[in-house]
Amino acid sequence: MVKVKVYGRMELAQAYLPNYTARGAWRRLRQWFSINPRLSPLLQLGRRTFTPAEVKLIFDELGEP
């Protein structure tokens, strides 16, 4: 079980895609968010971190990394 906490966007992306570079992992995760109606609003925030509540939503939608 992965801990729900504040995650930086690259840190979270690499948790999902550990074989990618940080930038490549974020690019791919951003694509996943863009096609998911519950996650796409997170891209509009313009922050580099996700709050625990946002991380929980991401885990609910994508599963834990």
What digits encode the pLDDT tens for the residues 16-62?
Answer: 999 999 999 999 999 999 999 999 999 999 899 999 999 999 999 99
Is 20 domain-assigned? yes
The pTM is what? 0.93
- The answer to whether 10 touches 26, Cβ cutoff 8 Å, is yes
pLDDT for the residue 3: 87
**DSSP code of residue 3:** -
If one counts the domains in the chain, the total is 1
Is 50 domain-assigned? yes
Range of the domain at 47: 7-62
